[in-house]
């Protein structure tokens, strides 16, 4: 069975600082991995996805994530935080390569301070 662990339910950074949100996964087969962002009372928007091509994946709004098989990790980073990045972020895994039965982590709430 697949699973996702997001370390840190709340992360706080200063505007302009590095953002690092952690995600570790468990999967019995090569996974497909996703990061989604959710603003209050809205649906989820895809930030980026890993589909077994390049291990460093670039997404929207300068976010990127690196797939590390040896560490079973897919951490999300952004070089410089902006106030508009404050939201909840979800890491998800799929063993079939897409929306089929996505398993989500419990989410990380990102706070950006002046």
Partner 1 sequence: DGGITQSPKYLFRKEGQNVTLSCEQNLNHDAMYWYRQDPGQGLRLIYYSQIVNDFQKGDIAEGYSVSREKKESFPLTVTSAQKNPTAFYLCASSRVNTEAFFGQGTRLTVV
User: Using an 8 Å Cβ cutoff, are 85 and 78 in contact?
Assistant: yes
From the CB of 46, what's the least distance to partner 1, in Å? 5
Residue 50: which of 30, 80, 70 has the closest Cα? Answer: 30
Q: How large is the C-alpha radius of gyration of the chain?
A: 13
Q: For partner 1, what does the binding mask look like between residues 31 and 70, x meaning CB under 8 A?
A: ---x-x----xxxxxx--x---------------------
User: Cβ closer to partner 1: 41 or 70?
Assistant: 41
Would you say 10 and 28 are in contact if contact means Cβ atoms under 8 Å apart?
no
Q: Does 14 bind partner 1 (CB under 8 A)?
A: no
- Binding-site size for partner 1 (CB under 8 A) equals 23
Per-residue contact track with partner 1, 72 to 111, x per CB under 8 A? ------------------x-----xxxxxxxxxxxx----
d(CA 75, CA 88): 15
């Amino acid at each position: 069975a697949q699973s996702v662990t997001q370390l840190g339910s709340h992360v706080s950074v200063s505007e302009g600082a590095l953002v690092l949100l952690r995600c570790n996964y468990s999967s019995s087969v090569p996974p497909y991995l996703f990061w989604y962002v959710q603003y209050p009372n809205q649906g989820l928007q895809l930030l980026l996805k890993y589909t077994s091509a390049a291990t460093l994946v670039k997404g929207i709004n300068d976010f990127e994530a690196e797939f590390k098989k040896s560490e079973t990790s897919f951490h999300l980073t952004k070089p410089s935080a902006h106030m508009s990045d404050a939201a909840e972020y979800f890491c998800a895994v799929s063993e079939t390569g897409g929306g089929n039965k996505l398993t989500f982590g419990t989410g990380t709430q990102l706070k950006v301070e002046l």
